[in-house]
Structure 1
Amino acid sequence: MKLILVSDTHLQTDSIPAFLSDVFDQYDMIVHAGDFDSLSFYKALEATGKLKAVHGNSDDPAVRELLPEKLVFEVEGVKIGVVHEASLSIVDSTATRYMALEMGVDILVYGHLHRPIIEKSDVLLICPGSPTKARMSDPCAVELVIDNGSVTTDIIPITGQSCGYIDYSRKLGKSDSE
């Protein structure tokens, strides 16, 4: 089964933008780790019939009422947990790992950081970044493929605007004529 993992979309629209729809169409399941922002965008994703999601700290109160803070589900024998805020650290994943262990999952998908992280120890920790509001990274999502209990991941670039810092850093050392 092919899953696309996203978080922190922060969209105020009642439809899925084409650049995301084209990506989502390629997957069996969309896992969203919170911060849709608007009820209308949540409903657009829910209408695909492929959505598993939790609410985030920036979600509209109506979204927060509809979605749980934590979610656990199983795909082909692999237990997947989803939360929005697992840790505020991009360097130390200790608290995130403990959360995964407390939830009893093999994989923990989380958001809030707006940049991708994939870390494997005794559990797999995945922050998919943001396809629309990236921080210190390019817009992206994470592909998770589960085949007979075997798990593979890949960071998927999404067409969109990088964060200002990334754009600035790419210009450093280049002359104006480049």
Structure 2
Amino acid sequence: MRLLLMSDTHLPRRAKELPPQLLVEIPRADVVFHAGDWVDAATLDLLERRSRRLVGVHGNNDGPELRARLPEVARAELDGVRFGVVHETGAAQGREARCAARFPDLDVLVFGHSHIPWDTVAPSGLRLLNPGSPTDRRRQPHCTYLTATLTDGHLTDVELHRLPQR
């Protein structure tokens, strides 16, 4: 099962559209995760149309329409792996312990907000993944997103993709 993870698209504030490379990835994925800060409903509509399955949440920059359509926390069990999605996890220091305590029933937590790619494992075994942002790199050298493969109940081939600067 192919997974695509993104967050913090901030359209149309930071960019006018999703990068072409990312648009090509969407229909290839079995499941698309979006960890909030869409900013416009048109991006949600686009992902709902192009994705086989979408798991998303609202972020702190999302207004009433997106908050009405998306939860603050989303969960999905895929091939026996328990995923959660949330926008904010707080400061980087202590993140693993804080998230493991908040989400003891998850195997993988996808999050956003910082625009900083992140891939760590808490002592409890919870894997934390932040794909960064495909449209707003902020202080990062590149805009980014993640892909991964889920096979026989194991998350493998987690890959950070750097997008060309536009």
Q: Do these two structures clear the TM 0.5 threshold for a shared fold by scoring above it? A: yes
Paired amino acid for 2:106: V
Alignment of structure 1 residues 15-54 onto 2, 5 Å = 16-49=18-51, 50-54=53-57
Local SS of the residue matching 1:133: coil
Distance in 1, Cα, partners of 2:19 & 2:132: 18
**Matched residues in 2 for 1:23 and 1:158: separation?**
12
1:83 is the counterpart of 2:86: yes
| Other-structure match for 1:118 | 119
Query: Percent identity among equivalent residues?
Result: 33
C-alpha RMSD over aligned residues: 1.9
What's the offset of the Cα at 1:26? 2.9
TM-score, normalization by structure 2: 0.87
Cα distance, 1:51 vs. partner? Answer: 1.5
Unaligned runs of 5+ in 1: 162-178
SS at match of 2:50: coil
Question: Which of 140, 145, 148 is the equivalent residue of 1:144?
Answer: 148
Q: Which runs of 4+ in 1 moved over 3 A?
A: 13-17
C-alpha deviation, 1:55, in angstroms: 0.6
What does the per-residue CA deviation read over 1:134-162, in whole Å, with 9 as the maximum and x for residues that have no partner?
2332111111211001112121212335x
Q: Which has the higher contact order (CA 8 A, sep 6+)?
A: 2
Alpha-carbon distance in structure 1 between the residues aligned to 2:107 and 2:81: 6
The answer as to 2:162 corresponding to 1:157 is yes
Query: Alignment length, in residue pairs?
Result: 158
* Cα deviation, residue 15, structure 1: 6.5
Instruction: Select 2:70's aligned residue among 67, 70, 80.
Output: 67
Structure 1 or 2, whichever has the larger Rg, is 1
Moved more, 12-21 or 73-82: 12-21
Given that residues 15 and 44 in structure 1 are in contact (C-alpha distance below 8 angstroms), is that contact kept between their aligned partners in structure 2?
no
Structure 2: any 5+ residue segments left out of the alignment? none
Give the TM-score, by structure 1 length. Answer: 0.81
